[in-house]
Each structure stands twice: as C-alpha cells, then as structure tokens.
Amino acid sequence: MDTVRTSASDSLIFSLVIQAPEIPTPTLKELARRTGASRIVGVPGGGTQAFRLEGASKWASTAAFCAEEHLDFAFVPTGQRLDRVRLMSMDMDSTLITIECVDEIADMQGIKPEVAAITAAAMRGEIDFGQSLVRRVALLAGLDVSVLEHVYMERLTLSPGAERMLASFRKVGAKILLVSGGFSFFTERLKQRLGLDYTVSNTLEVVAGKLTGRIEGPIVDAKVKADWVRKLRAEYAHGGGLAVAIGDGANDLPMLGEADISIAYRAKPVVRAACTYAIDYCGLDAVVNLFA
C-alpha cells in the first residue's frame, strides 16, 4: 500500500517511520540502504519497535519490501507534530476494541456465524451498513439485557496500545471522539473508563428486560459518523490544528475522509487504500509514532 495520500509539495521533507513487534537489524539496515536514508533514529516507548529513517527519498520499493518483512511504514512530514492534533476520532468495534460487539451478543443466541457473516460483508462495503445493522439487531430479539453486561465484562478487550495512544493525545490537549455504528451500552462504559470527551452510537431498544430487536432513534451510520467528525473538526482543529481519524471498515470511509490524517487500523483493503497511513502489525500506540 502507498501510505502517502497528500497533495503536499515535493519540497516537504519526510522521514520514513517503520514499526513492528520486532525489527531485525539487517532488515533495518537494508531498508535504510534502499531508501537512501541518512540517519536511523530509534523511537522510544510503546509495545513495538519503531525507527525513524531520516532523509529517506527513494520510495519506489518501500511498500513491497515492508509487506514482505511485515513492517508497518509511513512517510511522515517533519511538521507533523503530536502537539498539533486537536481532535482524534475513532471507531469502536475492531478498532478501539478487539471484538465486534454485535457478533458476541449474537453468540448468546447461538447465531454468531450468521450475524458475523453479515457484519463482515458490511465492513467490506458489500452491503449497506444501516440495512445490515437492522438485520443483525432483529436477530437478537428476545435476549435478556444482561447479556450485554456479560459481553462487556467477559469478552470486550481494548486493542493493544489503546491506553498509551489515548494518554498521548490527551496530554497534548486533543479532544477524543468515539463514534460507532455499535451500541451505547458499550460506548458509554468506555467513555467513563477511558476519559473520552464524546461518544456517538446506537441504542438498543429494551422492553421488560429483553432486547426487542430494534434500534431506538435514527441509526448512526457512515453519514452520521462523518457529520460528527466534520462538526468537531470545525470547532477544534482550526488555525493549523490537525484532526486524526482511525477506523477499519467501509462504514468508516466518510469519517476518515473528513480528517486531515486518516489511519486504517488492521483494516479491510478498501479502507487501507483510502487512508493516509495503515497499521497492520502493531498496536494502536503505533499511531503516536506517526508524529514528531
């Protein structure tokens, strides 16, 4: 993948940032040779190895080489500083957290394969997200609301590096938006747990302690996600500030398109192709290393 999606002039100076759980020294040196880098600088912190190859100017074979070596890579302009980030927006399912909540809820009904297949098709952009959500939620009708707590406590885990990433953005004063086509039961708990500024998501209708198989109110779909990012970007990321967005599925594409810097996290191919950067092998804290 070409991780540079920018209209910046050729006069900008870039560094090549490479990251992986482990980077062998011979691999690092070979990449520096191929790209013409003048200096290799280690990037401290986080759960991955990261290096900044300064002065890298030969980009042609970088993507293929990094794919062979299972390295995340990004050409980062020198002015892309962390303290310029004023808004960080992210998806929840399979991005901030490792699971798709609707699939795990469906597992309590014994229909996870059926629901997961619909989820996967929607994330690839093969079927409309709103329609797919209505279909999936309808299959949950009759489940006791207590299953939501069970999924949260027993199955929901944060993606690797999530807390370090969030702490880094909070430290520079960035506002954090969690905008999800998933469910408010989970986003509201994560808001309290992680100190998020804004959460937007769907609410499952409950009657007499049971899921009805319906969503309350309008569906939070791709358009709603993009609208929220656009609104908060206008409020916070002006005067040279940056808005960053992270997602993994086709439903995130309009939201990602509203950001100054878009990041595909372990994402579907259609998303990777549209974003500024992709992270395929590292945790979310690798996002921090994309900024000086």
Query: Which positions are annotated as active-site residues?
Result: 91, 93
CA atoms within 13 A on the CB side of 128: 7
How far is it, in rounded angstroms, from Cα 224 to Cα 117? Answer: 24
CA distances from 287 to 164, 192, 194, 212, 255 (A): 10, 22, 17, 39, 17
How far is it, in rounded angstroms, from Cα 105 to Cα 100? Answer: 9
Element (H, E) at 272: helix 269-272
How far is it, in rounded angstroms, from Cα 131 to Cα 162? Answer: 30
How far is it, in rounded angstroms, from Cα 199 to Cα 154? Answer: 22
Contact (Cβ atoms closer than 8 angstroms) between residue 247 and residue 90: yes
Q: Phi, psi at residue 125, to the nearest 5°?
A: 85, 15
